A and B are shown apart, each in its own frame.
Chain A
Amino acid sequence: MSLILIVLAPFLGALLPAVMANAGRRTCALTTLTVSAVALVGLVSRVPEVLAGDMPVAQVEWMPELGLNFTLMLDGLGLFFAALILGIGCLVIIYARYYLSRDDNMGEFFTYLLLFQGAMLGIVLSDNILVLLVFWELTSLSSFLLIGYWKHLPDGRQGARMALTVTGMGGLAMIGGMLILGRIAGSYDLSVILENREAIQASPLYLPALLLILLGCFTKSAQFPFHFWLPHAMAAPTPVSAYLHSATMVKAGIFLMARLWPVLSGTEVWFYLVAGTGLVTMVIGAVVALFKDDLKALLAFSTVSQLGLITFLLGTGSAYAAVAAVFHILNHAIFKCALFMTAGIVDHEAGTRDIRRLGGLWRLMPVTFAIALISGLSLAGVPLFNGFPSKEMMLEEATHVTFFGPEWLVPALATVGALFSAAYSFRLIGHAFLGAKRDDYPAKPHDPGIGMWGPPALLCVLVLVIGILPWLAQPAVFFVAQSVLGTTADIPEGLYLKLWPGITEALMMSAISLAGGLVVLLLFRPAAWLWTAAHVPHAKSIFDGIVAGAVALSRGLTQPLHDGAFTRYAMIFAVAVAALSGHAWLTGEVGPPTREPLPMNEVAVAGWLMLVTATAAIVVFHRNRLFALILMGIVGLMVSIGFALFSAPDLAMTQISVEVVTIILLLLALNFLPDETPRESSGLRRLRDGTVAVVGGLMAAGLSYHLLLRDFVEPSISAYQLENSYKGGGGTNVVNVILVDFRGFDTFGEIIVLGIAAVVIYALTEALLSGPVRAKLLNRRPEKDLAGDMHPLMMVVLTRVIMPLVLMVGVYIFLRGHNMPGGGFIAGLIVAIGLVMQYMASGYYWAADRQRYPFHGIIGAGVLVAGITGIGAWFAGYPFLTSSYGYITIPPLEEFEWASAMGFDLGVFLAVVGAVMLSLESFARMARRRDQKDSEHAMDIDPSRKETT
């Protein structure tokens, strides 16, 4: 199976569980399992190639100019992680099927899970670091959805947010690091980067790149001091914790450190930073874990500690440590996943995860106990279990590492870490399972069905097999480790994975830690008392403090600029424009005028006079809202005429249609407002605002005047567009060709924005009408007496007669838009006005009853049609939205030009009609009163009545 297909399988498959959610829980889970299993089979089918020393590569060009190609590769390390992700993924899916209750939406859960799985696979198989970054962010997002899956729990939501904040910030840092790395290596392909060790380490940018990348890795892999999100992420359902927080996501940081090991490791900074952080994390995590009463919190801190162990190993930079790290990644994934599943079983069956309320479960849940015992002892690092051999290797490595001089420091810290690891593992087994049976469990504990204990039991078999016969894992571990090392080093000669290392210093340390762990557990009560008395600062409160500070800071910056008062924005804008034009005037040079002003004729003078008078009148009379609106009508009319006068008839048409729609919209809004605007600001303030307005206006006018009298210094783009409009776009109307072809992508974005704006207006109306304001609106009484008919006969007849004419003009303007003034936008406005006329004449209810397609649907259809037209170009092998055109002759008609841009223009047309109508209709809906009834009749009087005298 192609690598691309392996990565895409979970993404494509993510649609299935959501669809299958109604087909029953079993079908839903089976579908999900099939998707993962297919990807796993696909992966296995490529194993022989990898083992033979080949490196399968798959590539799709994305943006080759930026060095961004969708390149995937499968080497030993990628294969190892992909197998973990898919193998454990399958087990987790089975477990989750039985773990989730009937109230949980299983389809949603599995969809998120598969999205996450795909993102993880993408990380481990990417050959391009930019693609890797994309997948990296995707894991942050999908894990956010998974952690917050139980949306009704505040813990879940907060935990999800914290995880997203921390890992997201790390991801941002990593983007910077990766870009620097790519810049140094001259390529964003991993295969190239990995061969440039010397160049990268010699570069002055090595340090910033390393720091930024490590920031990403440490946040993702929960290293101190970024570890705090992991325990809070435990609010997630247990299958999520078992999958994300033991085997996969938290290993992504580790994976990346291993992946970049050949180029980044071996320097002093790397050694102190990575090994030091790892060691500190290992010790702190283990100590905190001991005192956690929540089973999952204990396991979370234990994961932090174990991840620290692996980080420490990678940090030391020796080949031996790399082997140990790979071995421990494998072992930890196996036993920690089993432990999380056990915690989930206990929570599920006993009703609590609080260790203080548990105990004595071994009698009640023998199978679960056996699983917990095996995986717990492995976590403690007891011989015969798989946690032991890799921990031994870690201790062995620790004896060879020295920090800042004293030789005993690192081994001692490692022993302390191992000691507390043993202690919390023993506590997990001892306090939760052993001891006397209690009679106050929240639920009746019993063993679950095989669906829930089967997956961890299978993992336990692996724990024992690897624990007793470690050499079985040796070829795989060595193979993977060699791919971590790359060409920089080889696996040390004579190294074997073995159960019995002989009497070494490491064995002594191990013995001390196990015995010490038992002692600490026996002294648990006084130790716990000491821990509580010490008042260790809580990471969550620190995090909350930092977030609150950041929020306050950004609020302090935003609020003064963006306080919701339009006058303020207008003021900032005017001052900025005035300052900029003042600056331009003072520093720039103005050449002599190169253009002759047009002669003044009577039309121009009259237009100018009216514009100025209307504007001045608005200033004087603006408190009378209706009068102000009428005066604005003059301005709109004059601007339309102006467009026509300066040879832009299509702009004139657009302007007048927009004018009509605007007036209708404002009149609908004015209905809710008093007639007069009250006087609110003081005289001094008005003086200030007036000064700003006059200065800003004079500056802008001066600037325009000077620009209009001169040619641009640089030749403008207009010439190109005029030249290529017909050649390239098949249309002679340059404006339309620009809209649907040259700048088609912008237009596409614009119609989407337009649609969103209309839908938001609709949503706001909907929210308003379902809130307490509804009653107020319904019972509103008109402030003044109403005159005339509600639905006057004259208007009804006129609008009905004019409707086909308007539609015909709309079609005409639309069809010829590509070559002559017109197009989808104007046509949309014209048709929308035709429809609004019906609403105005016969009333809201009458018109809405006859509206067959909802306006949101029309917007959506518009965006879809435009999008599909754009995608159509792909089939011809061209980029999105490339248009083509040709000529056809339909017999009775003349030769007829078709252009694919027409489909796009149809999308624009539909979106405009839908958006205009939806917003007008929303306003009209708000004005419905209780005393208005739904009327079947188009008008209020019966035109066929007989006059009686």
Chain B
Amino acid sequence: MMTLAFIVSFFCVSLAQVLAMVRLIKGPCVGDRILALDTMAVNAIALLILLGLAGGTQIYFEAALIFAMLGFVSTVAYARFVLRGDIIE
């Protein structure tokens, strides 16, 4: 039962990744692309958690924590760049 759940969830998250990337490439504006990249980062965290569950180890959770804590910084940086040009004003 668990195996099936893993397969389904891995499939869904991977699909979400691919779809996010389609949006990223299609655009059409920069905002879409930045949001798509952010979505990909969120999906990456989900993938890490799933990996941790499937492998039965906690180490992935820490990696996921760091992704969550730091991943948003690059999104903010992109957004600031688009809005203000200078990210450290």
Contacts and interface: CB of A to CB of B under 8 A. Distances in A.
Contact of A630 (B18, B34, B44, B48): B34
B14 A602 contact: yes
Interface string B57-89: 001101101110111011011101111111111
Contacts of A630: 24, 33-34, 37, 78
A670 interface: yes
Given A602-B10, A602-B14, A630-B34, A837 B73 contact: yes
A622 interface: no
A778 to B, nearest CB: 13
Interface string A908-933: 00000000000010001001000010
Contacts of B70: 656-657, 660, 806, 830, 833
B74 A659 contact: yes
A653 B62 CA distance: 9
Most A Cβ at <10 Å: residue of B40, B69, B70, B83:
B70
Interface stretch (A141-149, A473-481, A536-544, A783-791): A783-791
Contacts of B81: 626, 667, 670-671
Nearest to A920: B88
A782 interface: yes
A606 interface: yes
A602 B16 CA distance: 12
Interface string B16-51: 011001001100001001100100110010011001
A806 B69 contact: yes
Contacts of A627: 30, 33
A605 B10 CA distance: 11
B44 A640 contact: yes
Contacts of B15: 606
A784 B85 contact: yes
Interface in A778-826: 782-784, 786-788, 790-791, 795, 802, 805-806, 809, 813, 820-821
A809 B61 CA distance: 13
Contacts of B59: 649, 820-821
A663 B78 contact: yes
A809 B65 contact: yes
Interface in A573-623: 601-603, 605-607, 609-610, 613-614, 617
Contacts of A133: none
Most A Cβ at <10 Å: residue of B24, B69, B85:
B85
B77 A664 contact: yes
A641 B47 contact: yes
Contact of B14 (A606, A667, A668): A606
Most A Cβ at <10 Å: residue of B33, B47, B85, B86:
B86
Contacts of B65: 809
A68 interface: no
Contacts of A617: 25
A633 B37 contact: yes
B51 A787 contact: no
A645 interface: yes
Contacts of B69: 802, 805-806, 809, 830
A657 B66 CA distance: 8
Nearest to B36: A630
B73 A833 contact: yes
B89 A644 contact: no
**Overall SS of chain B's interface:** helix
Given A634-B24, A644-B63, A664-B73, A601 B10 contact: yes
Contact of A839 (B17, B34, B51, B88): B88
Contacts of A641: 44, 47-48
A634 B40 contact: yes
Contact of B85 (A602, A649, A656, A783): A783
Contacts of A809: 65-66, 69
Nearest to B65: A809
A932 B89 contact: yes
A614 B22 CA distance: 10
A670 B85 CA distance: 9
A795 B78 contact: no
A843 interface: yes
Given A602-B11, A637-B41, A820-B59, A667 B67 contact: no
A583 to B, nearest CB: 38
Contacts of B66: 653, 656-657, 809, 813, 830
Contacts of A840: 73, 76-77, 80, 87-88
A844 interface: yes
Contacts of B73: 660, 664, 833, 836-837, 840
A766 B81 CA distance: 24
Nearest to B21: A610
A652 interface: yes
A836 B76 CA distance: 12
Most B Cβ at <10 Å: residue of A637, A920, A924:
A637
B11 to A, nearest CB: 5
A669 to B, nearest CB: 11
Contacts of A605: 14
B78 A791 contact: no
Given A656-B67, A830-B70, A837-B73, A667 B24 contact: no
A837 to B, nearest CB: 6
B84 to A, nearest CB: 5
Contacts of A844: 88-89
Nearest to A846: B89
A656 B73 CA distance: 11
Contacts of A932: 89
A815 to B, nearest CB: 13
A200 B62 CA distance: 68
Given A641-B44, A641-B48, A634 B76 contact: no
Nearest to B86: A927
A640 B63 CA distance: 10
A626 B69 CA distance: 23
B85 A663 contact: no
Interface string A634-647: 10010011001100
B71 A652 contact: no
Contacts of B78: 626, 630, 663, 667
Most B Cβ at <10 Å: residue of A634, A820, A924:
A634
Given A606-B15, A627-B30, A806-B69, 10 more contacts: A606-B17, A610-B21, A633-B37, A637-B44, A656-B63, A656-B71, A660-B71, A660-B77, A670-B81, A833-B70
22 contacts: A602-B10, A602-B14, A603-B13, A603-B47, A610-B18, A641-B44, A649-B62, A653-B66, A656-B71, A657-B66, A660-B70, A660-B71, A663-B77, A664-B73, A670-B81, A788-B83, A791-B89, A830-B66, A830-B69, A836-B88, A840-B80, A920-B88
The 5 closest A-B pairs by CB, nearest first: A606-B14, A924-B88, A788-B83, A663-B74, A649-B63
